[in-house]
Amino acid sequence: MAKDVIVACDFSCAEKTYEFLGLFRGEKPFVKIGMELFYAEGPQIVREIKKRGHRIFLDLKLHDIPNTVKKTMAVLSGLDVDMTNVHAAGTVNMMKAAIEGLTRADGTRPLLIAVTQLTSTDQRSMEEDLWIEKPMGKVVEHYADNARKAGLDGVVCSPLEAKTVHALCGNNFITVTPGVRFEENAKGDQKRVMTPAQARAAGSDYIVMGRPITEADDPVKAYSKAKKEFAGE
Ligand code: C5P
């Protein structure tokens, strides 16, 4: 399984994003484009970043009826992204429809992963707001297993959950894990964090890092530090 660092480009507009990516001379980080940037700039931002030679994780977290998700995935597949995602809460049928929509005529498709439970959801809000009265760990495992059954490639989860997910769904089932910080960084609004080296030891396949790289004094240096630590160097 390819291990890599994905840089969350949580910028509000194309200009700031290109300015940031322009700092990397020669190197082409795997980038994550989220809802803010995609809704601000539309599909053109994906085409442009792809044209510049970056791999793209398009993090739009789809959750709708299977037919709508299938048709939307066909559009995203045409944008030639490398990885995209859905909410596992959309059900196994919705995830199956997502795979169908994403698969191109030649049988190839971007990687598809599922969000299990957002890390902003805690046990209390899951029970009180969603009426899910199972322990969080069990819910994450169940949703990951549903994603595997639907044929998805992996899940977004906390690095703390990566080992359990691999034990349940196999080592080829990828774990993409945000909530990663350098030893010296403040945690910010991420509650449960790990360093790139700890995330590697925990079995993460891809780590997603935003602010520790985008807001660093020297983003290129921070990115290469993350790569080295995550590669175990
Ligand atoms: O800046 P930071 O490293 O916290 O960015 C993490 C990225 O991962 C953000 O784009 C955030 O939206 C995303 N994310 C997360 N927790 C999840 C899912 C996605 O932090 N459970």
User: What's the angle, vertex CA 66, arms to CA 65 and CA 72, rounded to 5?
Assistant: 95
Q: What is the pLDDT of residue 185?
A: 80
Structural tokens at position 16? 């700031």
Domain boundaries, given as residue ranges, for the chain: 4-231
- pLDDT grade, residue 193 (50/70/90)? confident
- pLDDT grade, residue 166 (50/70/90)? very high
Q: Is 163 a catalytic residue?
A: no
61, 163, 225, 227: the active-site residue: 61
Nearest CA to ligand 1 atom 19: 178
CA distances 39 to 33, 143, 177, 211, Å, are 10, 27, 23, 20
Q: What integer best gives the mean pLDDT of the chain?
A: 95
User: Is the C-beta atom of 208 inside 6 A of ligand 1?
Assistant: yes
Which residue shows structure tokens 């020297």? 218
CA distance 13 to 69: 26
User: Is the C-beta atom of 210 inside 6 A of ligand 1?
Assistant: yes
- pLDDT grade, residue 26 (50/70/90)? confident
CATH of the domain spanning 4-231: 3.20.20.70
Residue 190 has pLDDT above 80, yes or no: no
Which residue shows structure tokens 């998700």? 69
**Residue range 65-75: mean pLDDT, rounded:** 98
% of the chain residues with pLDDT over 70: 97
pLDDT digit string, tens, across residues 116-150: 988 888 899 999 999 999 999 999 999 999 999 99
DSSP-derived 3-state class of residue 106: coil
Q: What is the pLDDT of residue 188?
A: 66
CA atoms within 13 A on the CB side of 202: 24
What is the 120 CA–ligand 1 centroid distance (Å)?
10
Residue 184 has pLDDT above 90, yes or no: no
Phi, psi angle pair for 100, to nearest 5°: -60, -45
Q: What is the pairing mode between strands 206-209 and 174-177?
A: parallel
CA distance 4 to 227: 7
H-run or E-run covering 200: helix 196-202
Single-letter amino acid, residue 134: K
pTM score of the predicted model: 0.95
